[in-house]
């Protein structure tokens, strides 16, 4: 798919993608909707205000969604509208565009609306009302289970019957590039000691979790579950997500109600939402397709290609050092799909709203250096070496972590951009 706009061959934002986000810039200091293409962002508010959507009648009654500070209103219009807008924008940027007057030959609109990504600031794409983090990465769940309980009891009896999840903290979800303070909390200085008495300390076992996440688009009414075979139409699109985890705080607090402060201090997501339609060419079956017979009927999808083949990776750069790729995984390493997660979430009648975020759980492979967290790789005690020879078991202050993911081939990548953050020292507290 060729474009008249010069797009680098390795860009995650090829013409095959067209992800949506929220930006500000010197030209547009108020937050507005945009799409990413190559090294540029197209300001959709400026584009719409200047007649850019003149050849798409279906969006005419809704042009005001592009001047909103979040994508919630646009997402709520539903998947058919998202599809039409994305396909129209693709047609506008095609080398053989049927609408050259809209942008290709319209230099004034290009100057107004087509902005270098280096000159824009990204913001959270949606107002997130609620955030649920699932645990659908089978390999990660098994790896952690082995470390914590041994191989004979690695997976809990319920694990393959339902998408396990916990309710996370929406207020501390931040966009890529936002620095993260190391959290303080209660930890056990000596976990083997008796009696077990905690101390107050900065987290000493700070970890990352490589995840995908889905934004909800159209809501469901309270009391009315969403069918698993209709659930995908309630999903706006996907982002990369880093579910920062304080392993030592978590070890002390998680019994009996699960993680709390170990997870609530920060979650990082990418700013560009990749629509499900853009990921259609990369559909593959989830892990253990035969598990369909183990789940109850409300979780049985008609289609078996219900996850996506998206290569993922994460790297660490220590202060003054070079980037080190720590792990390479793939988004297909999930036992449950996002439609299954959404259907299970609503089966009680729970009502989801536009902007709600559903995390996949950590995505790990089965081979060495495919794990989606440091805890899995180092087992909490076996250091890994960075490019400059320094070692890490968990993250140290000043480390920068970058998650990446993109599917497809050179020139046609469908990717998410960087999901990055630098670790700042813990805030010093006195009591």
Q: Which domains does the chain have, with CATH numbers?
A: 19-123 (2.30.30.230), 131-424 (3.90.850.10)
Mean pLDDT of 127-144: 97
Question: Is the pLDDT assigned to residue 180 strictly greater than 90?
Answer: yes
Mean pLDDT, range 270-277, rounded to an integer: 98
Please report which confidence band the pLDDT of residue 1 belongs to, taking 50, 70 and 90 as the band edges: confident
149-158 residue pLDDT tens? 999 999 999 9
Binding-site entries: 133, 135, 149, 209, 211, 243, 250, 254, 263, 267, 362
To which residue do tokens 């709600």 refer? 356
- What average pLDDT does range 42-52 have in this prediction? 98
**Do 33 and 71 touch, CB atoms closer than 8 A?**
yes
For residue 64, the SS3 value is helix
Q: Let me know: does 282 contact 308? Beta carbons within 8 Å.
A: yes
Rounded mean pLDDT of 120-135?
Answer: 98
Confidence band, pLDDT 50/70/90 cuts, at residue 127: very high
Check residue 166 and give its pLDDT. 96
User: What pLDDT, on a 0 to 100 scale, did the predictor assign at position 95?
Assistant: 98
Q: What's residue 371's pLDDT? A: 98
At 313-322, the pLDDT tens digits run: 999 999 999 9
Q: What is the pLDDT of residues 217-267, one digit of tens each?
A: 999 999 999 999 999 999 999 999 999 999 999 999 999 999 999 999 999
- Is 140 an active-site residue? yes
C-alpha span between 91 and 174 (Å, rounded): 33
Task: Give dist(CA 44, CA 99) in Å, integer.
Answer: 17
Task: With beta carbons less than 8 A apart as the criterion, state whether 408 and 14 touch.
Answer: yes
C-alpha dihedral (136, 138, 139, 143), degrees to nearest 10: 90
Mean pLDDT of the chain: 97
What residues are designated binding site for Mg(2+)? 243, 263, 267
Instruction: Give the number of residues written for the chain.
Output: 431
Q: Decide if pLDDT at 372 tops 90.
A: yes
Collect all residues with Cβ–Cβ distance below 8 Å to 192 and sequence separation of at least 6: none
Opening angle at CA 17, ends 15 and 25, nearest 5: 85
Q: Which residue in the list 82, 123, 140, 181 is annotated as catalytic? A: 140
What percentage of the chain exceeds 90 in pLDDT?
Answer: 98
Question: Rounded distance, CA 21 to CA 14, Å?
Answer: 15
Position 345 scores a pLDDT of: 98
Which amino acids are annotated as binding site for Ca(2+), given as ranges? 133, 209, 211, 243
What does the buried/exposed string (b/e) look like for 169-190 if buried means 16 or more CB atoms within 10 Å of the residue's CB? bbeebbbbeeebebbbbebbee
Binding residues for substrate: 135, 149, 250, 254, 362
Q: Residue 27's pLDDT band (boundaries 50, 70, 90)?
A: confident
Mean pLDDT over 124-135 rounds to 98
pLDDT of residue 232: 98
What is residue 130's predicted lDDT score, i.e. its pLDDT? Answer: 98
The Cα–Cα gap between 324 and 332 comes to: 23
Question: Vertex 34, ends 30 and 37: CA angle to 5°?
Answer: 140
Residue 197: other Cβ atoms inside 10 A:
10
Across the range 110-136, mean pLDDT stands at 98
**Mean of the pLDDT values across residues 299-328?**
97
DSSP H helices, 102-246, are 107-113, 138-149
Cβ proximity of 82 and 275 under 8 Å? yes
47 close to 53: Cβ distance less than 8 angstroms: yes
Close Cβ partners of 40 (under 8 Å, ≥ 6 residues apart): 5, 114, 115, 116, 117
Cα-to-chain-centroid distance, residue 6: 27
Residue 334 in tokens: 């999930």
CA 77 vs CA 49, 72, 83, 156: distances in Å: 19, 9, 11, 39
- Residue 28's pLDDT band, with cuts at 50, 70 and 90, is confident
């Amino acid at each position: 798919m060729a474009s008249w706009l010069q797009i680098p061959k390795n860009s995650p934002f090829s013409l095959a993608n067209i992800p949506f986000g929220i930006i500000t810039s010197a030209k547009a200091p108020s937050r507005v909707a945009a799409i990413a293409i190559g090294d540029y962002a197209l300001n959709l508010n400026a584009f719409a205000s200047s007649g850019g959507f003149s050849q798409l009648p279906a969006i005419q009654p809704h042009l005001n969604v592009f001047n909103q500070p979040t994508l919630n209103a646009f997402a709520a219009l539903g998947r058919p509208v998202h599809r039409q807008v994305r396909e129209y924008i693709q047609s506008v940027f095609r080398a053989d565009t049927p609408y050259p007057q809209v942008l290709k030959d319209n230099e004034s609109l290009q100057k107004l609306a087509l902005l270098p990504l280096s000159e824009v600031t990204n913001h959270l794409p949606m107002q997130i009302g609620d955030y649920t983090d699932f645990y659908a990465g089978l390999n990660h769940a098994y790896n952690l289970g082995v470390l914590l309980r041994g191989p004979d009891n690695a997976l809990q009896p319920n694990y393959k019957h339902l998408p396990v999840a916990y309710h996370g903290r929406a207020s501390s979800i931040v966009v890529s590039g936002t620095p993260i303070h190391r959290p303080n909390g209660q930890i056990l200085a000596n976990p083997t000691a008796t009696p077990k008495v905690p101390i107050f300390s900065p987290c000493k076992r700070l970890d990352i979790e490589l995840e995908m996440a889905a934004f909800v688009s159209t809501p469901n009414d309270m009391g009315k579950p969403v069918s698993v075979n209709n659930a995908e139409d309630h999903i706006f699109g996907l982002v990369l997500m880093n579910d920062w985890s304080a392993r030592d705080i978590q070890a002390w607090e998680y019994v009996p109600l699960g993680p709390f402060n170990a997870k609530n201090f920060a979650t990082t997501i990418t700013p560009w939402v990749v629509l499900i339609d853009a990921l259609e060419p990369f559909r593959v079956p989830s892990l253990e397709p035969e598990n369909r017979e183990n789940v109850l009927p409300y979780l049985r999808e008609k289609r078996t290609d219900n996850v996506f083949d998206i290569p993922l990776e994460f790297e660490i750069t220590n202060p003054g050092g070079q980037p080190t790729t720590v792990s390479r995984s793939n988004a297909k390493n999930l036992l449950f799909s996002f439609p299954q997660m959404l259907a299970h979430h609503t089966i009680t009648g729970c009502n989801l709203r536009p902007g709600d975020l559903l995390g996949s759980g950590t995505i790990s492979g089965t081979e060495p250096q495919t794990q989606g967290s440091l805890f899995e790789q180092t087992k909490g005690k076996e250091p890994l070496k960075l490019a400059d020879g320094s070692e890490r078991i968990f993250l140290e202050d000043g480390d920068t972590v970058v998650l990446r993911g993109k599917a497809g081939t050179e020139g046609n990548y469908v990717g998410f951009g960087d999901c990055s953050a630098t670790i700042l020292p813990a805030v010093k507290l006195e009591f």
